[in-house]
A and B are shown apart, each in its own frame.
Chain A
Amino acid sequence: MNLARKDYLLAAVFGIFALLPLIPGVLPSSFTQHVFLLIFLYASMSQSWNVLGGYCGQVSFGHSVFFGIGAYGAGMAVVHFQTLPWPGVIVGAFAAAAVAMVISYPVFKLTGHYFAIATFAIVEIFNRLFMVWDWVGGALGLDYGLTDTGIANFVWYESKVPYYYGALGLMVIVFSTVRWIERNRLGYLLRAVREGQDASESLGVNSTWTKLTAMGVSAFLAALCGAFYAQYNFRVDPPMVMSLDVSMKFVLITLLGGTGTLWGPLLGAAVLIPLQEYTRAMFGGLGGGLDLIIFGLLIILVVVKQPRGIMGILEDLTRGRKSRKQSEKGGA
């Protein structure tokens, strides 16, 4: 019975994923496509954070640094070196992973709140550094000029559809990587460290290596998302890609969806991003921040009512159904 329900769930998930490529054909509105591609992008960003924050239990507020390095990788390739973005994407992703591992080594000696506070400081340091670093454009940032559209430059001006598929592809890559990690040795090690670092070490887990690996993978994936963001916005500057504001998005979406679960980041993004975009479209023009107030209230509601996020709500619903069925069986 349980196996059958699981199969249904899996079939439903695959069904939804199978339908996603059809959406641009069914919903031609460019704003709708924009919202969908942001959902995929933010789900991928949050999933990258989930590797470290969710599976490994290390709450980082520094992920915008790696996201930003990825964005600058693509941006520098296009604007500074006037090449295709792809070499910059690869270099940016590896640079982000390397930077992440180098700065995390000392920071991982801290735990809990102290670790979180240190990551806050890292964002500020990198933000200031990039603001005054003229080689990367400093405060002016990097502005893309007019270029040929197409997959080579990964730039399109008139259509959102290629970006939609790009974001979908990115999400498949990120989610597949995390799914693979979840099912393999690294996934078990990450969860062991999350559940109790000392206990896991007593069983032979090298927690430092595990956390550094999680950080490296997490930063690499976050940088890929940053590169996509740069290509979508044709601009990179520190407040846009390397700020506490961006870092909070990584954390918030995952918390809302459910940390340490594969589908949590997607659920969080699927709720939060349309809420953010549609409330701004509907109420933003009124001024007074009504859109932001509605947005904030809904987040508070979910976090207060269900701290385990939307995945927690779904689990409770499933558990409720299960216990009702059991009581029906045992009743009479």
Chain B
Amino acid sequence: MRKFLAIAVVAALVLGALGGVAAAQDKVIKLGTLYPLTGPCATAGQRCKAAVMTAVEVINNAHPDLDVPLAAQEGVMDGYKFELVHADTQGKPNVGKSEAERLFNQEGVWAILGSYNSAVTKPASFVAERKGKIFMCGCSSSAALTERNFKHFFRIAPTDKTESHEFVTFMDWVNEKYDADIETVGLIYENTEFGKHAAEEGKAAADEAGYEVVADVAFSPGATTMDSEVQSLKAADPDVVFGACLGGDYTLWVRTMKKMNWLPKMSLNYCTGYQDPMIAKQLGDDGNYFMGGTGYSPQFADLMPAVAAVEEIYKEITEPSVPFDSDSIKEAAAMFVLAQAIEKAGELDHDKVAKTLHSNTWEAPLTLSGEVAFVPGGQNELAMSYLTQLQGGDYKIIYPPEVANAELVYPMVPWEER
């Protein structure tokens, strides 16, 4: 009898424990991340992955010292915790699509965050839309992504269209303030979904504002030489160049211009290698006086006071330890917005959460505007970036004037005078 009782007690304990585990497991929301963890964009992809991990660490655990949404509590919806399942797209659209399918079908993720490359985000988010599940995009910038009228796709970043209009507005301002005589524009871009769209938007904005586009130069990403591309720019000699060159291509472009001893009066870059503080560091003096749209830089600390404490967690996760950059911080912001929407919706119905995302304005201290609001199609209508110029290796805010913390250096200082 005693033996029977002992077995019964042990069985009850085991069943109780299993029940507890089951209950704990029930309170898990699995999310997939889809980034290029290998391949030419691996560094950026690894940072985006670390940014989402940072956000999940803050949301899942109590961090009352942080001034970001959901930090003080543990999880969402009274104890639900997020669990991340990471996948590698290798920067390839077909891999991205099949990994999105695997994340939904095999891993049973509730939503996907990703996927850096616009060309990959397109088919991967198509999979999510077909399944009626949510795809949160942090930093892919092709305007086409939010022109598909998808119901479950949301994007935090400003699009190339937004940035192009910002560029020409800035050029008008420079012409007025500095009597700069800017008349012509040259385009240089990687021949991909991102680069091609950026160039099209840049050309349209320049035409509309009355600037003449005198050079349209595409290159293959990962090129080993850009001599002929820079030669084409030099021959056309535009006043301003719009650049859409990612990572190592940006470095090569800048160094080739130095080799050929040519610079435009001003260089404005989309969310590209320009924004990467590591690349700016590698270029040293050569990187100075280039400009571009910037969503975040550690030098923005005064404007985004909530970031620093979150960034400390991010720095612990990244290897080597780096601060947020413009792309990775948007992925973290995407995670915070998604978590807030789930919390507000109060249930895990995809349509309800999507509707909640559309019908509210979200607190987003990791973005420049501090808030996020989505229009039909999923674009964040409050997305913005500041125009910065690299001066002495620092990203100085030049425009808009009300937040500027440095004076524009115009025209760019020639190579021989540096």
Contacts and interface: CB of A to CB of B under 8 A. Distances in A.
Interface in B95-109: 95, 97-99, 101-102, 105-106
A132 B218 contact: yes
Nearest to A31: B106
Contact of A131 (B94, B98, B191): B191
Interface stretch (B56-64, B122-130, B271-279): B122-130
A139 B38 contact: no
B30 interface: no
Contacts, number: 92
How many B residues touch the partner, as a band?
Answer: 35 or more
Contacts of B94: 229, 233, 235, 240
A140 B85 contact: no
A131 B193 contact: no
B358 interface: no
B123 A235 contact: yes
A29 B106 contact: yes
Contact of A286 (B86, B130, B196, B220): B86
Contact of B93 (A138, A158, A240): A240
B218 A280 contact: no
Contacts of A157: 130
Overall SS of chain B's interface: helix
A30 interface: yes
B414 to A, nearest CB: 33
A292 B38 contact: yes
B88 A128 contact: no
Contacts of B193: 139-141, 237
A289 interface: yes
Nearest to A293: B38
Contact of A234 (B105, B123, B197, B220): B123
A131 B195 CA distance: 12
B92 interface: yes
A285 B107 CA distance: 12
A106 interface: no
Given A141-B193, A233-B94, A291 B88 contact: yes
Nearest to B34: A285
A287 interface: yes
A237 B88 contact: no
A122 B119 CA distance: 25
A275 to B, nearest CB: 15
Contact of B101 (A34, A235, A284, A287): A34
A30 B37 contact: no
Contact of B218 (A30, A139, A289): A139
A30 B130 contact: no
Given A31-B102, A141-B193, 8 more contacts: A31-B101, A138-B196, A139-B195, A141-B119, A143-B122, A235-B97, A281-B87, A285-B86
Interface of B: 33, 37-38, 42, 45-46, 49, 85-88, 92-95, 97-99, 101-102, 105-106, 119, 122-123, 126, 130-131, 191-193, 195-197, 218, 220
User: Closest 4 interchain pairs by CB?
Assistant: A285-B86, A284-B88, A287-B37, A139-B191
